Structure 1
Amino acid sequence: MWTSVGGPEALPASSVRRPGHMVGREQDAAALRELLTGHRLVTTAGRAGMGKSRLAATVAASVTDGPWQHVVEVRWQGSGPASSGALAATVVLALTGARPAQDTVGVAEVVRGLPDGRTLLFLDDVDPVHTECIGLVQHLLMAVPDVRVLVTARRPLGLGDERVLRLTQLSGEEPVGGGGRAPAVELFLDRARAADEGFRAEEADLPAVAEVCRLLEGVPLAIEMAAEQTVRHSVDELAGLLREQQGWLTSPRPVLRRHRSLREAVGAGYVLCEREVRIVWARASVFAGPFAEGTAVFLCAGGSVEARQVPGCLARLTAAGVLEAVGDPGGVREPRYRMTRAAREFGEERLRDAGEFQVAAERLVVHCRRVAAVAESLWSTGGQTQAMRLVLDEQDDLRAMVEYALDRPEHSADALETVVNLWFWWVVHDRAEEGREYLLRLLPLNDADDPLVTRALWLAAWLSAGTDPETARVLLGRAWSAAVMAGDDATIGRVAHVQGTLALQEQDAEAAARHFQEAADTVPPHAAGGPSPAVSQAAVAVAEAMFDPVAARRSARRALTRPGVREDAWASVVARYARAFVDHRHGRSARAWRRAHRTLASLEPGLPDVHGAAALRRLMADIEAGIPGRLCLPAAPLPRTGVPAAPAAASRAPR
């Protein structure tokens, strides 16, 4: 027997079962059937739009040989918190067919209304009455041994005997070993064909379909809404619209009122949050990527929200599916969170409506400037691994901050300082073009007499050297004049380093060696904000290897004995590459291969490759192929092709 009743928006269970709704959920359905067969309390949990109700209703109706004789469904669809006892009254209505005389009833009335025999009580969408549901289910399980309960909600009930099936986003990756499309893509195509019988997805459309699913983070409800838009937009047009925003997605045939649009689906959870949680949700929406708990406290506290309340609000938002815990939750590092894209768009709307967006954005600017300053300090004082991890963690917000500042002159100096302090990120980790673009856009917005602009000019020249040498020379001229006037030896020396890079590209190795030596002799030891003298000394060795092997070996040894080189991991890699390159260029290929291999083995795994690692791997490949050394200087952002090498002594493969 199946009995169904619900709250204000109740619909019969059959209304949620339509073609295609189980696409990509077969494994979840099998897991739910197994849980229902073996346990008395099962909760299907997940954030808005994951298809909890559909999956649970379909599975509950399809398990005809389950350990129950009756199925009673109660769907609560109220828009906000209800009065105490309202859920129990709705359950009594489902059990007896008669509405109780009072609006609220107790557990005893529910127990009396249960039919004889084994019963599955299906409580659907209980978020508005979550607290009452906990007490009701706990008393029912203790009072009636034959009753089993299936619950759908954004968060579990938290009872001891509860088994939880958490629904996550549909995968956008094709199954291992082939055998079909990604579940998210399959759902999109299925719903698009249901909305428009003439819809045909050509092979060329599939990358755009995959991008749509990625932008929607694999949320089934959002994917279905997007698929229904194919009657008005091509898949490419749809992907373009979704890159800008996704809250506009709507459904012409919503099963539930809150599913009329993606914005309403997200907002249904917002109205259930306490005031402080709503405020933290809105303020945290300014983060473009994952953020730390401490950063959230700095940005979200203020007004009616005290700093001590923010961690608890983050935990509640995580339980509701608004935030996702990332990294190693419960580990030794500070907790980190990421807001889902739909929730971030909704929160930003609330933040702007409250007139707080500007304040939150300015706090993010302050945070990002501090992050860049700390990262540069770590890099310059031997903590290069920590500097890399810090920028990796914060890179989304750093980019967002720079883009935000580009449209606001009052923050252009903050953005320029941030980009300049991240010099190592652009150069050492092969992101030269991104850093160059930021600098060229920010430089006209800043005062030409600012000492920071001098450093920015030098860095822009270095980042331009590999792709636009003419622009690099113009920028170098401006940087050199300003540095000389200011007596800035570090920048003067680093200008010489870039001149050496340009000379190498022109295959003038002798001029390059002179420029690099000038840089090594001019930059003060331990000077922050750019490559150390050891890096320039290693570059001298690489340039000399083209014409003077004896001097090249001497320069390579000097690079490894420069002050501070042991604490400078990148300088050490560049210097070791120089020694290996010199050895290979002059016939000691086996020794060169071993040097390169040992250096690569010493690098910490799990982090982005430093530029020197790529150069070492290329050198090893050249040795193994018997090719004379092709220059790929890891002390500068050179073009991928490197500098053609002159004929050298015959190479020999490593033994």
Structure 2
Amino acid sequence: MNVWKCVGGSATPGPCAAGATDDLVGRAPESARLERLLTEHRLVTVTGRAGVGKSRLAATVGARGPWRQIVHVHGQGDCSGAPGALAKAVRRALTGQHPRSDFADLVRELPATGVLLFLDDVDPVQRTAMGLVQRLLAAVPGLRVLVTSRQALGLGEERVLRLLPLTAGPGVELFLRRARAAVDGFRAEGADLRAVERICRSLEGVPLALELAAEQLAFQQVHDLAAVLEVHQCWLHGEGPALRRHRSLRATVGASYALCEREARIVWGRASVFTGAFNESTASFLCGGGGVAPQRVPSLLARLAAINVLEPVRDPGGLRPPRYRMTRAARDFGAERLRAAGECETALERRATHSRQIADTARHLWAAGLQRQAVALVHEEREELTAVLNQAVHRPDQSVTALETVVGLWFWWVVYGHAEEGRDYLLRLLPLCPADSPVGVRGRWLAAWLTAGRDPQAARALLGRSWPQAVLAGDDTAVGHIAHVQGLIALHENDPRGAAEHFAESARTVPSRPEYGPSPAVSLAAQAVAQAAFAPSAARRTARRALARPDVRDDDWATLLARYATAYVDHRQGRDARALHRARRTLAALDGTPALPHGHEALRALIADIEAGVPGRPHLPQLPRPRTASARAFPAEMGSTVVTS
């Protein structure tokens, strides 16, 4: 244990003085709050993740206080096995001698007032510090104690200041200051400034990491540095910091790793495969086994969150299950440990399997009429699902699992405005999977749907590969869904009669509440829209049939389509006032439902047509169009047969 003594509000030369710099970029609010806490309370602890600047802030603010004497003790190494070691260190810092660890002598030597005991970085001696601080506060009423640690001591009268990483502006400012110190004349404008902002985002605003990264500009260009840090960052190092563990980001994070028990280290490594937020059940599935009981995982996650390796995404004490996100540096460090343990492939396979299970759960929720819950689940897990799918397109061994995930999320791509993203995944995954498999048939059907808006011929080719296989397999759901997409293509090509026939076939063939894809009510509503162009009365009856189906009550999408169809028929028959009323009422009803972008667009387009006094044209809210015309086309070898049903 290394100790330093600071007397009379100023530090003697050494690491204490080096840490107590006034260069606290972006820390004015935290500095003022810490100063206020020290004035009003006897015990204050500054917590936060490794490298966030706890010691620097505490030393600077402590030195500004009205103390006659500051006793600064810095803990390094594990002293828990040496009874009285921390008390001896405090006494040595107080007297400059090497006394025995007698607590009574320490109490007698401490002045009654005007003393700040600064216990810096007490994580290695956490339990000892808790006991000593509690006894000292009871024995010396005028004593003030300032502690820095990755986690709070947990004492009743303790006040905690959790120090967060720097936000974007202060982070960039700190990086630029250090960069100018490392490279004379360094300036960042335009593209260089954007590269600096990328660096700050990758490093998540951690001051130590920003300073170490800025030093690297003496050896590489800022754009190259930004690209490297987006892949990995634990390699960052420098010779400036006085503490050895601050000379590299790996050593800084490794200090937290060293404090963890074996099970927590295993969970840390396995959980590092998560890119986004995850919940306890997901972590238990992925991290359990191999020396860690699954039921132990939630408590180990809480332990990692306590030392700021994990960050709670929502309140762990709330009504909903807790979710966590691993800090970027901790994730890179954990990935290194996972590879060293030879468990990386297993963890990635479990992660892909779990993503498919999420997609299956969302698909079943949608089919069961719980569409809002399905959308909420996908939205919550979207970041992780995206990371898994982006990885799977480069791993042929995971292609089938990834394709099942994409198909399971069909409604996310079709209904919620993510057609281009889903189409891109299918474009990459379908050539890697068996063409005659059930998931291959469904994948080509979904790809045809997502392609129909911009390339009807390519959509027909995709359906041509799926239709014979669906017929031979006796898959009525697939046959009906293929007919539905044929109707979309016909409607897009201004063939309302052909579209109506295809939609009618789909409504007859698809069973009620299918496992995937649109329900018969959706096809009936689309049929009504098509019929409105040539048979308005029949269209009105078809829309009413759609709204009368028992399963439509839980199907927000089908209800929207049917109500749009009714309003559109009113408009086609010259009943504009009624059409406006229906369209506006439907839009108002959508406010309480998950966003249905195509539905909103179709209703607003209909209202605009009516208000402009122009003849209405169908804006079917289920025909997604890619955002850009530069999207890649499907390879010709993926299908060339034209469906003739």
TM-score where L is the length of structure 2: 0.90
User: Once the 2 structures are TM-superposed, how far is the Cα of residue 430 of structure 1 from its aligned partner?
Assistant: 1.3
1:347: how far off?
0.9
Is 1:87 matched up with 2:82? no
Q: Give the residue type in structure 1 aligned to 2:146.
A: L
Determine helix, strand or coil for the equivalent of 1:271. helix
Give 1:609 shift: 4.1
Aligned residue identity for 1:84: P
CA contact (8 A) 2:15 2:242 kept: no
Deviation at 1:94, TM superposition (A): 1.0
The 5 Å alignment of 1:22-41 reads 22-41=24-43
Aligned twin of 1:132: 128
State the Cα deviation string for residues 569-592 of structure 1 (Å, max 9, x = none). Answer: 211122222223333455444433
Structure 1 letter corresponding to 2:31 = A
Within a 5 Å distance, the mapping from 1:299-318 to structure 2 comes to 299-318=286-305
Match in the other structure for 1:242: 229
The 1:189/1:542 distance shift into structure 2, 3 A limit, reads farther
Correspondence for 2:364 among 352, 355, 377: 377
Q: State the superposition RMSD in angstroms.
A: 2.6
Partner of residue 649, structure 1: none
Matched residue, 1:283: 270
CA contact (8 A) 2:310 2:324 kept: yes
CA deviation vs aligned residue, 1:92-113 (integer Å, no higher than 9, x gap): 221011123x5xx243343233
Q: Distance in 2 between matches of 1:630 and 1:227?
A: 58
Q: Secondary structure at the match of 1:210?
A: helix
> Cα–Cα, structure 1 residues 11 and 625, in superposed 2: closer, same or farther, change >3 Å?
farther
Q: Does the aligned pair in 2 maintain the 1:525–1:563 contact within 8 Å?
A: no
Which residue of structure 2 aligns with residue 351 of structure 1?
Answer: 338
Alignment of 1:167-316 (within 5 A): 167-172=163-168, 182-316=169-303
Deviation of 1:142 (Å): 0.4
* Mapping 1:365-514, distance limit 5 Å: 365-514=352-501
| Cα displacement string for residues 304-340 of structure 1 (whole angstroms, at most 9, x for unaligned residues) | 2223322211111111001111234222222221111
Match of 2:323 in 1: 336
State how 1:534-549 maps to structure 2 within 5 Å: 534-549=521-536
Corresponding letter in the other structure for 1:45: T
Q: CA offset at residue 81 of structure 1? A: 6.2
Contact (CA 8 Å) 1:82, 1:129: kept in 2 or not?
A: no
1:460-504: CA deviation from partner (whole Å, max 9, x where unpaired): 111222344333221111011211222222212211222222223
Contact 2:263-2:292 within 8 A present in 1 as well: yes
**Please, which of 35, 44, 47 is the counterpart of residue 46 of structure 2?**
44
> What is the distance in 2 between the residues matched to 1:258 and 1:410?
40
Q: Which amino acid aligns with 1:228?
A: E
Aligned to 1:154: 150
In structure 1, distance between residues paired with 2:615 and 2:317: 51
Counterparts of 1:59 and 1:154, CA distance in 2: 18
Shift of the alpha carbon at 1:203? 4.1
Call closer, same or farther: CA 1:239–1:141 in 2, change over 3 Å. same
**In structure 1, distance between residues paired with 2:271 and 2:44:** 32
8 Å contact 2:451–2:625 — kept in the other structure? no
Comparing 394-403 with 129-138, which one deviates more in the overlay? 394-403
Structure 2 contact 69–115 (Cα < 8 Å) conserved: yes
Residue 607 of structure 1: CA displacement? 4.5
- CA gap of 1:187–1:629, structure 2 versus 1, over 3 A, is farther
| Alpha carbons 1:376, 1:387 under 8 Å: kept | yes
Instruction: Tell me if structure 2 keeps the 8 A contact 1:80–1:272.
Output: no
2:550 & 2:302 partners in 1: Cα distance?
A: 48
Instruction: Report the secondary structure of 1:157's partner residue.
Output: coil
1:165 corresponds to: 161
Aligned-residue offset at 1:535: 1.2
CA distance in 2, matches of 1:638, 1:377: 26
**How far off its partner does 1:457 sit?**
1.1
CA distance in 2, matches of 1:586, 1:626: 13
**Aligned-partner Cα distance in 1 for 2:79–2:272:** 23
**Counterpart in 2 of 1:612?**
599
> 3-state SS of the aligned residue for 2:259?
coil
Report the CA distance between 1:360 and its aligned residue: 2.1
Q: Residues 310 and 11 of structure 1: is their aligned pair in 2 closer, same or farther, counting only changes over 3 Å?
A: farther
Deviation, 1:455, is: 1.1
SS in 1 for 2:372: helix
How much does 1:78 deviate? 3.1
- Residue 110 of structure 1 is matched in structure 2 by 106
The total of aligned residue pairs comes to 621
Alignment identity in percent?
59
Does residue 12 in structure 1 map to residue 11 in structure 2?
Answer: no
The C-alpha deviation readout for 1:17-72, integer Å capped at 9, x for no partner, is 457x3111110001001101111000111111111111111111123xx3x32112
Paired with 1:91 and 1:58, the residues of 2 have a C-alpha distance of 20
The gaps in structure 1 that reach 5 residues or longer are: 173-181, 643-655
2:55 alignment partner in structure 1: 53
The Cα of 1:268 is off from its aligned counterpart by 0.9
Residues 266 and 491 (structure 1 numbering): CA distance in 2 closer, same or farther, change over 3 Å?
same
Structure 2 CA distance for partners of 1:617 and 1:214, relative to 1, 3 Å: farther
- TM-score normalised by the chain length of structure 1: 0.89
Paired with 2:486 and 2:174, the residues of 1 have a C-alpha distance of: 56
Deviations 1:112-167 (A, max 9, x none): 33246420111111111111111111011000011100001011111111111111
**8 Å Cα contact 2:80-2:128 kept in structure 1:** no
- Measure, in 1, the Cα distance between the counterparts of 2:21 and 2:107: 33
Q: In 1, are the aligned partners of 2:48 and 2:151 still within 8 Å (CA)?
A: yes
Distance 2:222 2:563 in 1: 50
Q: Indicate the residue corresponding to 1:652 in structure 2.
A: none
- Which segment drifts farther, 186-195 or 579-588? 579-588
Q: What SS does the aligned partner of 2:141 have?
A: coil
Once residues 624 and 246 of structure 1 are traced to their aligned partners in structure 2, the CA distance between those partners, rounded to angstroms, is 57
SS at match of 1:120: strand
